[in-house]
């Protein structure tokens, strides 16, 4: 299983339009020491600096050369051109927020058929499922074949065993993803957008991954800037959740320890980070590639 982090940024991405903060300046500047750090990590750095585009993950089955796209970023075109990728063989959508869904419009004239998997459980807030929302929103795109799957149901995509697991990203239903290679035993766990408070059965499903890709938007000390503050405090009073919807970086690290992850990358990152450590491990950057 070859996993590529296509997009590791939050809703605005990094650099953010109109922002000249220190992190955005570093991301724009190809002459920063950041370039050397990224090269050592096996990431291709272009002449315009390093971006964190909106969230998406590419998973390839090396045996069959089939590819699965986890969430369709609005930056789809940029990501696929940057990584020199062919259109995916299938896609999976974790929830209906635009930064995870709107890239599906890019499949027009790229794919003859694209199976798109999503939860078939009815969301009480929307009155319909994620799968129904995707089907209705993109009913004009003939290539899309939306297929509903129930939470915790095991199903096969591109030779992988896949499960959707409920997480907590109010007010809408949102799902993490567990992808296992039945041949090698490699496991990729993706928390999806979530606060720290994840249901116990979902934690059990996500546990023991070779790679955990975990939502973590900001350091815990930035919770004071959120109208809702922080939540899900640890024994030392550190907030594991920023506001109500996303883990803090400390929360993501704590969850990784709890799940006993072999390797962790924190994604959905804001540009409101300490500039000197904004691109250091385990914070993810676009283009990182892993073999599980």
pLDDT band (50, 70, 90) for residue 40:
low
Q: What is the pTM of this model?
A: 0.93
pLDDT of 51? 82
- pLDDT score of 154 more than 90: yes
pLDDT of 47? 39
- pLDDT score of 152 more than 90: yes
pLDDT of 63? 94
pLDDT of 163? 98
Which tens digits make up the pLDDT trace of 169-190?
999 999 999 999 999 999 999 9
What SS3 string covers the chain?
CEEEEEECECCCCECCCCCCCHHHHHHHCCCCCHHHHHHHCCCCCECCECCECECEEEEEECCCCEEEEECCCCCHHHHHHHCCCCCCCEEECCCCCHHHHHHHHHHCCCCCCEEEEEECCEECCCCEEHHHHHHHHCCCCCCEEEEEECCCCCEEECCEEEEEEECCECCECCEEEEEECCCCCCEEEECCCCCCCCCHHHHHHHCCCCEEEEECCECHHHHHHCCCCEEEECCCCCEEEECCCEEEHHHHHHHHHHHCCCEEEEECECCCCCHHHCCCCCECCCCCEEEC
Q: Which sequence spans correspond to the domains of the chain? A: 2-291
What CATH number should be reported for the domain whose range is 2-291? 3.60.15.10
């Amino acid at each position: 299983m070859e996993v590529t982090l296509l997009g590791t940024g939050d809703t605005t991405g990094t650099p953010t339009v109109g922002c000249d903060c220190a992190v955005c300046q570093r991301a724009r500047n190809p002459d920063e020491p950041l370039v050397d750090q990224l090269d050592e990590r096996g990431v291709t750095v272009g002449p315009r600096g390093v971006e964190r585009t909106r969230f998406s993950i590419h998973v390839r089955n090396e045996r069959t050369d089939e590819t699965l796209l986890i969430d369709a970023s609005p930056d789809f075109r940029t990501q696929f051109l940057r990584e020199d990728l062919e259109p995916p063989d299938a896609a999976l959508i974790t929830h209906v927020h635009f930064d995870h869904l709107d890239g599906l419009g890019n499949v027009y004239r790229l794919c003859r058929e694209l199976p798109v998997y999503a939860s078939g459980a009815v969301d009480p807030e929307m009155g319909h499922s994620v799968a129904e929302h995707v089907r209705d929103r993109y009913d004009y795109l003939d290539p899309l074949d939306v297929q509903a799957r129930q939470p915790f149901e095991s199903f096969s995509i591109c030779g992988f065993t896949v499960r959707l697991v409920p997480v907590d990203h109010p007010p809408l239903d949102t799902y993490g993803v567990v992808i296992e290679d039945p041949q090698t035993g490699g496991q990729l766990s993706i928390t999806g957008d979530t606060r720290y408070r994840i249901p116990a059965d979902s934690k059990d499903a996500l546990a023991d991954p070779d790679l955990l890709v975990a939502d973590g938007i900001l350091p815990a000390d930035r919770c004071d800037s959120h109208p809702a503050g922080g939540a899900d405090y640890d024994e030392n009073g550190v907030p594991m959740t920023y506001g109500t919807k996303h883990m803090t970086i400390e929360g993501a690290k704590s969850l990784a320890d709890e799940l006993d992850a072999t390797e962790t990358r924190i994604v959905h990152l804001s540009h409101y980070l300490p500039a000197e450590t904004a691109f250091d491990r385990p914070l993810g950057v676009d283009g990182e590639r892993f073999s599980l």
